[in-house]
Structure 1
């Protein structure tokens, strides 16, 4: 348990890829929550040097990776650098488009104390809500009676003890992007750790580009307003599909109920994507290619020839 006299050191690791200028204000706000902030630019394909320089001029440590290696690689590099520089007790992982709510870190650490008082080993603290919408939580016998645990916490906004990283390892870089957090969550649970939600911890986070829902090219409306879906590129759908099926291959035998629920979440997303979204043929190709690679065990970056077909 964290004692009142002990003030834990928290370092935030922010991943960046082709950031907009908004990252400057978000990181500035983040400095109000934690003592140390480190930004890892994951080989941006556009010139982001000026934006990154502004961050450095504001006292932010910036690490520039020479090539785009995926979010897990960026997180891991940031964690390693932060530990060398500041020796923190906790790592707060953040996306470039996330903003913490008021008293976020204090509320998260208070929730650690609460979980520890119930005899739980905390593997990470999850946001309680994203954009004021509650996160999905564990069900039934998966859940602790006294502390609510997140079902599959998104890594942005997660507060992770450094000691847990030492025991279970860092994020799986072979996944490149998507399900990086799912794999980590399942590994810490397998090691006997919990994933309590931080009571009072809300994070504002952009979930992707929105597009109008359409059928036969016509927008769907309710109450005079166009319905929207979260749009991902076909290449991103490839990674989402491949990696969720890699999770099934890795973890289904020991986490059947949990894995079925997680898989159904992706099925629902795909139904919406294929029925109401654009580029249906490319999305179908991305889905099939992702399943093929999951079955064959291919991980890492998408093959160039497959990426070309999905552009």
Structure 2
């Protein structure tokens, strides 16, 4: 029987604040242990003093989300790996939903379990059963350790965005499955949400820094070509339209977005270095 002691939660930090500490506290009693991998330039270990069952790993610089997660995976040996962003909030219901599936269903050929995501742009309601999905987010997803042993770790060359989509596509290519557990809900608050008034309705959309759009443009095109996946190309077009139609400072966004496209075409990956592009 699977239980919470077999789950390690790997949370990637970046300049954490008090809200992040509260998220970690909420998770602390729900899994066997927590590994915090901090991509910040500073050591923030003192923020988590007093919390038991937590291992803090400072990287003293941003090495990318893929590298941070991989470090956590390599530092652990639990049967199940729950990966988390610092802006996601886990619940006992989510863990129980995962454990119920693991203890009552045929787990053969299943690589990962993923939740439904409740965001301020799109709210989610609990459902029943499970459904196979091709793509999801890594935050809140429960991976079997055997998945990493079979198909490898996250692609560190991508550095930041699309790291999770590339991995889920790799899962599918290997003939494995990702299942969405419909009564598992994760509260997720990605990026910054803005609202555009378009006639009779309001459009909520996410924004991020121009540098993030470099990584999104580059990694979407690279991953789309690697797996011949049309979803990557559609998302790439949507990102470009958002910049053109909704963003201020379009010139800077388009400059870095187009640089990302060029780097994807030439196979130039890794961390973006100012002055080397």
- What is the TM-score normalised by the length of structure 1? 0.80
Q: Cα distance 1:306–1:227, how it changes in 2: closer, same or farther (>3 A)?
A: farther
1:266, CA displacement in angstroms?
A: 3.1
Contact 1:124–1:161 (Cα < 8 Å) also in 2? yes
Aligned match of 1:89 = 79
Instruction: Write the distance in 1 (CA, Å) between the matches of 2:88 and 2:101.
Output: 21
1:187, CA displacement in angstroms?
A: 1.2
* DSSP-derived class of the 1:128 partner: strand
The one-character-per-residue Cα deviations of 1:255-306 (angstroms, maximum 9, x if unpaired) are xxxx113321332233123201111111111221011000000000113126
1:115, CA displacement in angstroms?
A: 5.5
Instruction: Write the distance in 1 (CA, Å) between the matches of 2:105 and 2:237.
Output: 33
* DSSP-derived class of the 1:149 partner: strand
Instruction: Write the distance in 2 (CA, Å) between the matches of 1:236 and 1:190.
Output: 27
1:227, CA displacement in angstroms?
A: 4.7
* DSSP-derived class of the 1:303 partner: coil
Candidates 153, 156, 162, aligned match of 1:170: 153
Aligned match of 1:65 = 59
Provide runs of 4+ in structure 1 moved above 6 Å. none
Q: Cα distance 1:284–1:176, how it changes in 2: closer, same or farther (>3 A)?
A: same
Deviates more, 1:106-115 or 1:60-69: 106-115
Provide the alpha-carbon RMSD of the alignment. Answer: 2.3
Q: Cα distance 1:58–1:167, how it changes in 2: closer, same or farther (>3 A)?
A: same
Q: Specify every segment of 5 or more residues in structure 1 that has no aligned partner in the other structure, as ranges.
A: 136-145, 214-219, 253-258
Candidates 43, 48, 62, aligned match of 1:55: 48
1:285 matches 2:275: no
Q: Cα distance 1:191–1:114, how it changes in 2: closer, same or farther (>3 A)?
A: farther
Aligned match of 1:149 = 132
Q: Specify every segment of 5 or more residues in structure 2 that has no aligned partner in the other structure, as ranges.
A: none
* DSSP-derived class of the 1:245 partner: helix
* DSSP-derived class of the 1:74 partner: helix
Aligned match of 1:26 = 23
Answer with 1 or 2: which has the greater Rg: 1
Contact 1:274–1:283 (Cα < 8 Å) also in 2? no
Q: How does 1:75-154 map to 2 (within 5 A)?
A: 75-81=69-75, 83=76, 87-112=77-102, 116=106, 120-131=108-119, 133-134=123-124, 147-154=130-137
1:226, CA displacement in angstroms?
A: 6.6
- What is the TM-score normalised by the length of structure 2? 0.89
1:98, CA displacement in angstroms?
A: 0.5
Instruction: Write the distance in 2 (CA, Å) between the matches of 1:306 and 1:274.
Output: 26
Give the structure with the higher percent strand: 2
